[in-house]
């Protein structure tokens, strides 16, 4: 998630980063639970990023990287190692160390996932210049940060996660893993997904109707695939909610329902016996994906 | 046998008086787990779910109940503090179901945990369950039956699907462990595989992975060099676009190594039999 320019300016202003100098990169190897400052070099320029989630430079091998244990902090000797790796003239090491420390402090103070200064340049006039940069913010930390919610490509609204995609089947699921499995099945069968709506593990009955409304409102939706595993909620209650929603409004497109878990068989029977136009019930996840792909293909032909 | 939990597990629920904590406690007690009490600051002295005592602090709860495991159900802003409190009170096993803990907090916490003997499962985890023995979390008991298949998963929903699918096909499980969907977690695939390898009841293992991070590659290295038991794998997110968070905080492809294809490739090279669908996975048994 990249916040807008005004937000980035605010972050850098608050941290009082010098507008000049070389570069640096906070980044983090989350598997090791350590922050990593990485230095990259390209065309005699140096650039880098501070990240807590992933490298922003998947195709570049870092010139040098330093791991930082958050419990013990970031030390000058690590900055010197970075400066040395850049072959910086020793006369500029102290300036460089100050910049790296400020960037890392900015990173911590703002709950950033990454801060990238790209590139950080030491000019012939011995000025440090940051030509560009970006900040990725950990939205989980918004509760203790003064800034408002930045724009996000995927939003979590009312406990429902929404991931917009570019295809034509909108999937409603209750779990990210189940959602990805459903998308994979659709793709494997030649279909495409318009959006993934994840209701999470609790409050399914409260979230279902808004999720269906949202799915139906997406213009590119040619079919809605509901794929749920009900751990504690009765599937018959879920089926009743779907039927009630369906009876209150005309369907904009076919709806395929696959339920597993508590009372699933009875629930699918309820939907089948209701015999409502455009509403289908299927027992297996793969079958549900296949039916959704088939129905969207018919939609395209029709 | 099972791993990590069993009949001797005595569970505290931190946040028992909240909605999540109450629900989790009800489920665990109904499953037969020895839930010995709850912890909610400022509510010590009250009675919680099904007459379990509520304490102001983990230390006082441990002193009174000899609890040896804790389930963290408190909200994200307070969750890390609750975990530190459990660690300081000497709790050996903690499962955290809380979602949305800031990444830097988790990194600091994991760094501290390295210096202790406490094991943290999660955060953003459904916890773990040993069928017909004990539960520490919110894994539904009825979807499981006791047996010899160990399951370890980043996804709770897929773990439920697969456990239920195995159960109705007559295959039981030794222990189910949801390690959590966050990028920074307390216990990895390798940690659990190591325990399954040593567990006498576990004969086969199912590993359920997803895009993001490199935990599956670490698991592949471990399987190749250290494991003698057969491992089966399912990795989801093959169709996920790059740089889009697919629900879980950790499910995002930022590097080539984080794709589902790269993970499947690593697992296959380590001798893991992988499946692309649930039907394919069940057909392997």
Do the beta carbons of residue B65 and residue B39 sit within 8 Å? no
Write b or e for each residue in B181-209: b if 16 or more Cβ atoms lie within 10 A of its Cβ, otherwise e: bbbbbbbbbbbbbebbbebebbebbbbbb
Q: What is the value of pTM for the model shown?
A: 0.88
Residues of chain B with Cβ-Cβ distance to A70 below 8 Å are: 104, 107-108, 111
Nearest CA to CA, how far is B66 from chain A (Å)?
30
Annotated active-site residue B242? The verdict is no
For B31-70, write each residue's pLDDT tens digit: 999 999 999 999 999 999 999 999 999 999 999 999 999 9
Asked if the model's pLDDT at residue A50 lies above 70, the reply is no
Is residue B209 over pLDDT 50?
yes
Facing A30 at nearest CB: one of B184, B236, B276: B184
Q: Are A53 and A113 in contact (CB under 8 A)?
A: yes
Give bridge partners of residue B231 from the DSSP assignment: B205
Give pLDDT tens digits for A118-174.
667 777 777 777 777 777 788 888 888 876 554 443 444 556 888 999 999 999 999
pLDDT score recorded for residue A56 = 33
pLDDT value of position A47: 41
What is the rounded CA–CA span in Å between residue A93 and residue A82? 10
The pair of structure tokens assigned to B219 is 């698991």
Per the prediction, chain A carries an average pLDDT of 76
Looking at chain A from residue 214 to 253, which residues have their Cβ under 8 Å from any Cβ of chain B?
229, 231-232
Cross-chain residue pair A140–B249, CB shorter than 8 Å: yes
Annotated catalytic residue: which of B248, B249, B258, B270? B248
* Cα A166 versus chain centre, distance: 16
Q: Which two tokens stand for residue A136?
A: 């990725």
A165 touches chain B (CB under 8 A): yes
Q: And the tokens for B134? A: 């004990």
Report yes or no: A77 at the B interface, CB cutoff 8 Å: no
For residue A189, CA distances in Å to A63, A73, A184, A254, A297 come to 43, 50, 9, 18, 11
**Residue B47: strand, helix, or coil:** strand
pLDDT value of residue B246: 86
Q: Is B130 helix (H, G, I), strand (E, B) or coil?
A: strand
- This complex has an ipTM of 0.95
Question: What per-residue confidence (pLDDT) applies to A61?
Answer: 55
Residue B170: both structure tokens together? 């007559």
Q: Give me the count of residues in chain B.
A: 285
How confident is the model at residue A17, as a pLDDT? 33
Beta bridge partners of A66: A37
């Amino acid at each position: 998630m990249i916040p807008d320019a005004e937000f980035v300016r605010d972050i850098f202003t608050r941290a009082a980063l010098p507008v000049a100098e070389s570069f640096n990169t906070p980044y983090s190897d989350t598997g090791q639970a350590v922050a990593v400052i990485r230095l990259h070099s390209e065309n005699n320029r140096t650039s880098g990023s501070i990240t807590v989630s992933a490298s922003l430079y998947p195709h570049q091998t870092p010139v040098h990287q330093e791991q930082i244990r958050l419990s013990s902090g970031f030390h000058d000797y690590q900055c010197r190692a970075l400066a040395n790796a850049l072959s910086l003239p020793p006369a500029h090491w102290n300036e460089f160390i100050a910049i790296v420390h400020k960037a890392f402090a900015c990173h911590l103070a703002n709950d950033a996932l990454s801060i990238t200064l790209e590139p950080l340049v030491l000019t012939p006039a011995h000025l440090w210049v940051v030509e560009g940069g970006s900040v990725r913010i950990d939205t989980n930390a918004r509760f203790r940060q003064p800034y408002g919610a930045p724009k996000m490509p995927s939003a979590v609204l009312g406990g429902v996660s929404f991931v917009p995609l570019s295809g034509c089947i909108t999937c409603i699921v209750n779990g990210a893993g189940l959602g990805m499995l459903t998308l994979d099945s659709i793709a494997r069968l030649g279909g495409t997904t318009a959006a993934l709506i994840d209701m999470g593990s609790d409050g399914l009955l409260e979230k279902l109707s808004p999720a269906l409304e949202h799915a139906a409102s997406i213009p590119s939706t040619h079919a809605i695939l509901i794929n749920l595993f009900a751990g504690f909620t009765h599937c018959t209650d879920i089926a009743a909610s779907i039927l009630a929603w369906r009876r209150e409004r005309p369907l904009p497109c076919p709806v395929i329902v696959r339920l597993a878990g508590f009372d699933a068989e009875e629930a699918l029977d309820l939907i089948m016996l209701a015999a409502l136009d455009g509403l289908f019930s299927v027992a297996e996840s793969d079958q549900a994906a296949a039916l959704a792909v088939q129905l969207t293909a018919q939609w395209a032909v029709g | 046998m099972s791993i990590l939990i069993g009949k001797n597990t005595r569970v505290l629920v931190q946040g028992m008086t909240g909605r999540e904590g109450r629900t989790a406690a009800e489920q665990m007690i109904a499953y037969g787990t020895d839930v010995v009490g709850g912890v909610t600051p400022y509510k010590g002295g009250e009675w919680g779910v099904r007459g379990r005592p509520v304490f102001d602090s983990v230390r006082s709860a441990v002193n009174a109940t000899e609890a040896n495991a804790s389930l963290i159900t408190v909200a994200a802003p307070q969750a890390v503090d609750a975990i530190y409190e459990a660690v300081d009170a000497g709790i050996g096993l903690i499962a955290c179901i809380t979602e949305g803990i800031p990444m830097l907090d988790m990194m600091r916490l994991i760094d501290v945990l390295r210096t202790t003997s406490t094991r943290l499962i999660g955060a953003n985890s459904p916890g773990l369950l040993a069928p017909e023995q004990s539960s520490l979390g919110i894994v539904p008991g009825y979807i499981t039956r006791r047996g010899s298949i160990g399951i370890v998963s980043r996804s709770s929903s897929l773990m439920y699907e697969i456990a239920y699918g195995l159960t109705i096909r007559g295959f039981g499980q030794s222990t189910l462990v949801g390690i959590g969907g966050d990028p920074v977690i307390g216990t990895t695939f390798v940690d659990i595989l190591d325990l399954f390898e040593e567990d006498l009841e576990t004969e086969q293992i199912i590993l359920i992975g997803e895009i993001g991070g490199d935990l599956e590659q670490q698991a592949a290295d471990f399987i190749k060099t250290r494991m003698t038991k057969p491992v089966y794998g399912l990795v989801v997110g093959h169709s996920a676009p790059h740089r889009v968070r697919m629900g879980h905080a950790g499910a995002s492809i930022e590097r080539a190594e984080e794709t589902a294809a790269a993970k499947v490739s690593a697992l296959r090279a380590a001798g893991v039999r992988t499946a692309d669908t649930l039907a394919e996975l069940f057909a392997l048994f």
